Amino acid sequence: MKTLLWLHITIFCSIFTYAQTNTPAQLYPGLFDAVQMQQIYPDGKTFVDASPRLQPAVILKAYQRSKDSIGFSLKDFTHQYFTTPAQSSTVYHSNIQAGIHKHIDTLWTVLQHVADTVKGTSLIPLNYDYIVPGGRFREIYYWDSYFTMLGLEESKRFTLIESMVKNFAYLIDTYGHIPNGNRTYYISRSQPPFFALMVQLLAKHKGAKTLITYRPQLIKEYNYWMNGAAKLKAGSAFEHSVRMSDGSLLNRYWDASTQPREESYREDVLAAKETKQKLANFYRNIRAAAESGWDFSSRWMTDGKTLPTIQTTSLVAVDLNSLLYNLERVIARSYELSGDKEQTNAYFAKAAKRKAALIKYCWDNKTGCFRDYNWQHKATSSQISIATVFPLYFNMATSTQAHKVAMLISQKFLQPGGVATTLNNTGQQWDQPNGWAPLQYVTVMGLRNYKQDSLAKLIAQRWMNLNIREFNKSGKLSEKYDIQHADAKAGGGEYPLQDGFGWTNGVLLKLMNIYKE
Q: With residue 439 as reference, give the H or E element that holds it.
A: helix 437-449
Q: Which of 139, 255, 263, 479 is catalytic?
A: 479
Which of 80, 10, 68 is closest to 40 using CA atoms? 80
Positive or negative CA dihedral for 183, 187, 192, 198? positive
Q: Which of 153, 267, 291, 295 is catalytic?
A: 295
Q: Around Cβ 93, how many Cβ atoms within 10 Å? A: 8
Distance of CA 197 to the CA centre of its chain: 14
Query: Do residues 170 and 132 lie in contact, with contact meaning Cβ atoms separated by under 8 Å?
Result: no
| Residue 303 bears catalytic tag | no
Query: One-letter amino acid identity for 208?
Result: A
Q: Is 494 helix (H, G, I), strand (E, B) or coil?
A: coil
Which of 18, 25, 387 is closest to 186 using CA atoms? 25
Distance between CA 26 and CA 259 in Å, rounded?
A: 12
Give 143-207 as a DSSP string.
Answer: HHHHHHHHHHHHTT-HHHHHHHHHHHHHHHHHHSS--SBSBGGGTT---S--HHHHHHHHHHHH-
| Residue 470 bears catalytic tag | no
Strand partners, 241: 238, 251
Known catalytic residues are: 295, 479
